[in-house]
A and B are shown apart, each in its own frame.
Chain A
Amino acid sequence: MNSGSKLLHNDYLGLLLRLFLGVVFVYASIDKIVLPAQFARIIYNYHLVPAELVNIIALLLPWIELVCGVVLILGIYKQGSVLIINLMLVVFAVAVGINMFRGVDLECGCFTVSSKAKSNALVFFLRDLGLLAIGIYLTFNRSTRFNLIKSRS
């Protein structure tokens, strides 16, 4: 095993990043689960989905984040949750990116629905890409040492 491959499949780095990403997604989901109406308003303001789908997404998306975050922390279904998380992060990057291009001062809806703080789409975008880098690493990190359930691969 060369050193790059060692780093890629490092048990401890895999564990650390898995826990980090899991906690980020659990944390991100809570506010949105508790306040779906506010989250729906933020989704609507992205102006990227048909009006009919806004509430469904507001109700469902935070639960997907929570479920994926929890199983990632526990080390169950790691591959499945990392796949969904990566897909979500790509969608978020595109959504924020489009609105950044439009020049709209947008509420992110990333971690909170109540913030009236000044938005900075570039920060949202770069933060998302950072998380995506972790997600991609975890896709290829095959460490199962700390998994609660050790699935075959």
Chain B
Amino acid sequence: MSTSIRQAILLLLLAIVLSAASTGILSDRIPYVGNWPSLAGSNSVIVPPSAVEGDPPFISLDEAAAKYQSPNVIFIDARYPEDYDYGHIKDAINLPYEELEYFWADVTAGMPKSKEYVIYCSGDECESSLFLGREMLYEGYSDVLVFYGGWREWERAGLPTERGK
């Protein structure tokens, strides 16, 4: 066996021993197998830990896909314009939460309050969809839903997407 591979194996073993020995001492203890939601469940509604009473309702991928069929529903992408340009749900409108002051007036001009809105961002890590949902409720939009699974679930499911502005 070559020197580098033998050395690499020894180093990996050392890392395993140190990791096992230190867990819970240098850091908070976490289980070896975490309770992460499986990524396949399109029926499961992801509700972020930061959600509070009065937030817009959260919907699953299946519900979002059903809403997508309705002509009365508009999808809102809350991510940065660069992310939106990389790829977004087909026909979604970009209203970047982090740059709301620059976009709000122009974008909402084309968003009648009579319509229903599904807001999303990148996936479960991103909270822009929730924050934008709160903002829209505050501004008088009444039918606001948050699809927290977002772009990632949508894209994985092979639902309609498009690139560009």
B15 contacts A66, C-beta separation under 8 Å: yes
A118→B18 contact, CB < 8 A: no
In the complex, residue of chain B having the shortest beta-carbon distance to the beta carbon of A44: B36
Task: Assess A118 versus B27: contact at CB under 8 Å? Given A51-B37, A105-B83.
Answer: no
Q: Within 8 Å of chain A (Cβ to Cβ): is B57?
A: no
CA distance A103 to B87 in the complex (A): 6
Given contacts A63-B18, A80-B6, A80-B8, contact A105 B79 (CB under 8 A): yes
Which B residue's beta carbon lies closest to that of A71? Answer: B11
For residue A23, which residues in chain B have a CB less than 8 angstroms away from its CB? Answer: none
Per the bound structure, the CA–CA distance linking A59 and B30 in Å amounts to 8
Number of interface residues, chain A, beta carbon within 8 A: 43
Is the C-beta of A74 less than 8 angstroms from some C-beta in chain B?
Answer: no
Which residues of chain B (18-70) have a CB below 8 Å from chain A?
A: 18-19, 22-23, 26-28, 30-34, 36-39
Of the 9-residue stretches A8-16, A29-37, A89-97, A129-137, which lies at the interface with chain B? A29-37
Q: How far is the CA of A82 from the CA of B8 in the complex (A)?
A: 8
Provided the pairs A37-B28, A104-B122 are in contact, do residues A51 and B38 lie with their beta carbons within 8 angstroms? yes
Interface string of A55-66 (1 = CB under 8 A from B): 110111001101
**In the complex, per-residue mask of A66-81: 1 if CB is within 8 Å of any chain B CB, else 0:** 1110010000010111
* Interchain CB contact under 8 A, A84 and B151: no
Contact of A55 among B34, B121, B124, B156 (CB under 8 A): B34
User: Given the known A-B contacts A83-B5, A152-B3, are A55 and B27 also in contact in the complex, defined by CB atoms under 8 Å?
Assistant: no
Does A107 sit within 8 A of B, measured CB to CB? yes
**Pairwise interchain contact A54-B36, C-beta atoms closer than 8 A:** yes
10 nearest interchain CB pairs? Answer: A80-B7, A103-B86, A103-B87, A79-B4, A51-B36, A55-B34, A80-B8, A63-B19, A77-B7, A63-B15
Please tell me if A6 contacts chain B, counting CB pairs below 8 Å: no
Chain A: CB-nearest residue to B83: A105
In the complex with contacts A36-B28, A47-B123, A80-B10 CB distance below 8 A: yes
User: How many whole Å from A34's CB to the nearest CB in chain B?
Assistant: 5
Q: Is A114 an interface residue (CB 8 A)?
A: no
B91 at the interface (CB under 8 A from A): no
Query: Please, which residues of chain A bring their CB within 8 A of the CB of B86?
Result: 100, 103
In the complex, are the beta carbons of B11 and A45 less than 8 A apart?
no
Complex CA–CA separation, A44 to B35 (angstroms): 11
The residues of B that contact A80 with a CB separation of less than 8 Å are 3-11
